[in-house]
Structure 1
Amino acid sequence: MKDKNYCTAIEMIELGDATQWRPLAGFPGLETVLLRDDLDEVNRRGARTRLVRFAAGVETSASLVHPYWEEVLVISGDLSNKDARQEIGASHDRHTPLRYSLRPPGTPHGPFVSRGGCVLFEVQYFLAESRSSHEQGN
């Protein structure tokens, strides 16, 4: 069973300290700060909340598809979809509003590239209706 830190209140903690960042397994040049994680892909329940940081010049190599909902907010830097060359983060002058993505289960996304690096806020979760559908064999 994963950490049940969702049972404890977290109030205005400082984030981004160099000691908090951990390499993201399977993704060279990406690091995370895990805020909450009780995501259970087998039983299709729970959620994960984290910061993800791309180093400057990092490119991921594959498209991703997963069974849970995902919401992503680019809070700094630039991020582009390599295949579509669609800018997801900062404009060329690096002054831009925040960018947001919502991905229902099964939505292909990526591979991505970040020219100057970026930081994302990600929330990944299952909805109760997703579990019901899965449990009924749909």
Structure 2
Amino acid sequence: MKAEREFFATTELTWTDAGGGITQRILSQDPEDGTLTRIARWAPGTRSGDEVIRHEYVEEVYLLEGELTDLTLERTFGPGDYACRPPGMPHGPYTTAGGCVMLEIRYSAG
């Protein structure tokens, strides 16, 4: 279960390396079931890889800053754009020329 947290300044959290040009501020997490809420920051020029992405959890993403390009769709998304992906939904790969910041929420479909 995620830890109880009342309102707090997320800017007090340090950015940690999530790999591949992405840093993150983890807002809440349950390491046992993989649920996660984070702010992810992609550095300029970051690319998620060359393959379409699929995973076993529900993922919601809300772009806060910058731009993110879906290479399969050949479409660029910006601040205020939102995605909700059920388990197994194909998406990406992605790249960002100028970088971006997003709110990402992951949870089990069960």
What TM bracket, shorter-length normalisation? 0.7 to 0.9
1:76 has 2:71 as partner: no
Name the SS for the 2:45 alignment partner: coil
Match of 1:103 among 60, 79, 85: 85
1:88 Cα deviation after fit: 1.7
Q: What TM-score do you get using the length of structure 1 for normalisation?
A: 0.70
Is the Cα contact below 8 Å between 2:3 and 2:29 reproduced in 1? no
Q: Identity rate of aligned residues, in percent?
A: 31
Match of 2:36 among 32, 41, 48: 48
User: Unaligned stretches of 5+ in structure 2?
Assistant: none
1:33 has 2:25 as partner: yes
User: Which one has a larger percent helix, Structure 1 or Structure 2?
Assistant: 1
1:15 has 2:15 as partner: no
1:39 Cα deviation after fit: 5.2
Structure 1's consecutive aligned runs of 4 or more residues displaced over 6 angstroms after TM superposition are none
Is the Cα contact below 8 Å between 1:39 and 1:125 reproduced in 2? no
The one-letter amino acid of 1:71's match is E
1:49 Cα deviation after fit: 0.3
User: Unaligned stretches of 5+ in structure 1?
Assistant: 90-96, 131-138
- Give the 5 Å matches for 1:76-95: 76-89=65-78
User: Which one has a larger percent strand, Structure 1 or Structure 2?
Assistant: 2
